Structure 1
Amino acid sequence: MDDKYIKVLLIEDDPMVQEVNRQFIERLDNFRIIATASNGEDGIRKIRTLSPDLVILDVFMPLKDGITTLYEIRKEQLDVDVIVVSAANDQHTIRKMIQNGAFDYIIKPFKFERLKKILKKYYLFRTQIAMDALMSQNQLDQVRFQNGNSSVLVEKGVQETLPKGLNEATLKQIYEFLTKQDSALSAEEVADGIGIARVTARRYLDYLKETGTLELDMQYGGIGRPVNKYILKYIR
């Protein structure tokens, strides 16, 4: 990354939306639009030749859509981060983009403040990662979870200031684990999957349920009490 600014490539097929996004981003210090592309094929070519730091990627595009474009970026191991800005709000698309490493997902229409917020977090993430050749686990957790990619949780209703005793890094770990599941899980299953105590997993799961991020699915098996299981709302 250039010391002066983050280089941004816009991949968006609608000229009016492309121009609005350009104006939004160029209102911020430390970000510069270095090129635009109107489809995924052109976008991939420009990533290879221009080496942007960040791509703002649409989903619905001709020739190559955003899902395929992001998949190819990862397949080719192109060194670029991606923020998705799209009208696509279906569960399948959102999950695919998150699974392929999108730094954030913004649903159109959106307010400038929403984009501004994540770009500021992204700037902190990139600059702090670049500063240290070696990092401790604590430093990595601070950068990755507190300054970086927690916005999906915030958009789901999770408060940025967590209740006492809850850690944002653990919350993010649990959330990302749940995005990869196709069915509801118990606190014990989540705890085993992540490697934490069941009582700890239960506290975070209950918090996510209270914020509206999770749904509770009570399952009745054989003899005994029903088992409380949790699932992300958008997986339903």
Structure 2
Amino acid sequence: MSKLTVDVLLIEDDPMVQEVNRQFVEKVDGFRVVGVASTGAEGLAKIKELRPDLVILDIFMPTLDGIETLTRIRREQQPVDVIVISAANDLRTIQRMLQNGAVDYIMKPFKFERVKQALDNYRIMRARLEENRSVSQAELDEMLRGGPGRPGKDVATADLPKGLQAVTLKQIMLHLMSRAEPLSAEEVAEGVGIARVTARRYLDFMEKSGQVRMDLQYGVGRPVNKYVWSGAK
């Protein structure tokens, strides 16, 4: 990596959690906390002032919550990566944060080992992205999947066919898991923000690997294939 130390900004309203986050981050080689903010609005100002490499972001905060904070970070095209550490465990919130580019999501309460894992994975990904060279599809897939515990790396994404990306697969999983009713490929495509033909490729793979169930639903006109997460009741 061209930069030896990763500068981290903590955006967290709870002083006790702030201190835990600070201690955990600074226990990992190559990371230092350069600032702390107690609200999303303060965090946005400090991103512009301090120019950190990485933000560790809470969701439940006064003034500006983490969802809106991350939305504004992306809207303003701030060149900073984000790891979420939050008590929020509902799939819709997790999906929104991942769709807005969070590179990892850690749920409270958490242990140092999980934070270290996230930071180590981030450091590896960042170092590879900073290499000024071309990459193969296999290398890109490895970078996107990261190590164990990262979003996009689990049994479901361990052996993706050529052309399928773990990040997109994870977004489709979260979208299906957040909906009780079966969805068509077109509805999945609209919900995730991809082309219908692309959604169908992922859904076909997920159906063959047992991650989703496919039901043929009849109505007016031709029957439609609908997909539901295999864990849904």
Coarse TM-score class (shorter-chain normalised) = 0.7 to 0.9
Could you list the structure 1 runs, at least 4 aligned residues long, displaced by more than 6 angstroms after superposition.
Answer: 189-192, 223-226
Deviation at 1:37, TM superposition (A): 0.7
8 Å CA contact 2:8, 2:54 repeated in 1: yes
In the alignment, the residues of structure 2 paired with residue 39 and residue 5 of structure 1 have an alpha-carbon distance, to the nearest angstrom, of: 25
In the alignment, the residues of structure 1 paired with residue 30 and residue 164 of structure 2 have an alpha-carbon distance, to the nearest angstrom, of: 27
8 Å CA contact 2:99, 2:171 repeated in 1: no
Letter in structure 2 aligned against 1:174:
L
Q: State the Cα deviation string for residues 153-205 of structure 1 (Å, max 9, x = none).
A: 44xxx238835x75695444333345567762459x8797354985x853444
8 Å CA contact 1:40, 1:61 repeated in 2: yes
In the alignment, the residues of structure 1 paired with residue 183 and residue 200 of structure 2 have an alpha-carbon distance, to the nearest angstrom, of: 18
In the alignment, the residues of structure 2 paired with residue 131 and residue 44 of structure 1 have an alpha-carbon distance, to the nearest angstrom, of: 28
Please say which of residues 189-198 and 87-96 is displaced more in the overlay: 189-198
| SS of corresponding position for 1:19 | helix
Q: Counterpart in 2 of 1:221?
A: 218
Q: Counterpart in 2 of 1:10?
A: 10
In the alignment, the residues of structure 1 paired with residue 231 and residue 54 of structure 2 have an alpha-carbon distance, to the nearest angstrom, of: 29
Q: Counterpart in 1 of 2:169?
A: 174
Letter in structure 1 aligned against 2:111:
K
- C-alpha distance 160-150 of structure 1, shift in aligned 2 (>3 A): farther
- C-alpha distance 48-171 of structure 1, shift in aligned 2 (>3 A): closer
Q: Do residues 127 (structure 1) and 124 (structure 2) align? A: no
Q: Counterpart in 2 of 1:61?
A: 61
In the alignment, the residues of structure 2 paired with residue 80 and residue 47 of structure 1 have an alpha-carbon distance, to the nearest angstrom, of: 8
Q: Structure 1 vs Structure 2: percent identity of aligned residues? A: 37
Q: Counterpart in 1 of 2:158?
A: 162
Q: Do residues 33 (structure 1) and 36 (structure 2) align? A: no
In the alignment, the residues of structure 1 paired with residue 230 and residue 40 of structure 2 have an alpha-carbon distance, to the nearest angstrom, of: 30
Q: Counterpart in 1 of 2:228?
A: 230
8 Å CA contact 1:171, 1:204 repeated in 2: no
| SS of corresponding position for 2:18 | helix
Q: TM-score, normalised by structure 2?
A: 0.78
Q: Counterpart in 2 of 1:73?
A: 73
| SS of corresponding position for 2:29 | coil
8 Å CA contact 1:166, 1:204 repeated in 2: no
Please say which of residues 167-176 and 104-113 is displaced more in the overlay: 167-176
8 Å CA contact 1:53, 1:80 repeated in 2: yes
Deviation at 1:137, TM superposition (A): 4.5
- C-alpha distance 90-178 of structure 1, shift in aligned 2 (>3 A): closer
Q: State the Cα deviation string for residues 28-55 of structure 1 (Å, max 9, x = none).
A: 1011111111111111111001100000
Please say which of residues 84-93 and 4-13 is displaced more in the overlay: 84-93
Q: Counterpart in 2 of 1:193?
A: 196
Q: Counterpart in 1 of 2:47?
A: 47
8 Å CA contact 1:6, 1:30 repeated in 2: yes
Gaps of 5+ in 1: none
- C-alpha distance 195-96 of structure 1, shift in aligned 2 (>3 A): closer
Deviation at 1:231, TM superposition (A): 3.8
| SS of corresponding position for 1:145 | helix
- C-alpha distance 99-161 of structure 1, shift in aligned 2 (>3 A): closer
Aligned positions, number? 223
Q: State the Cα deviation string for residues 41-81 of structure 1 (Å, max 9, x = none).
A: 11111100110000000011111111111111111111100
- C-alpha distance 208-14 of structure 1, shift in aligned 2 (>3 A): farther
Q: TM-score, normalised by structure 1?
A: 0.77
In the alignment, the residues of structure 1 paired with residue 130 and residue 145 of structure 2 have an alpha-carbon distance, to the nearest angstrom, of: 16
8 Å CA contact 1:186, 1:228 repeated in 2: yes
Q: State the Cα deviation string for residues 112-138 of structure 1 (Å, max 9, x = none).
A: 221111111110111111121x42343
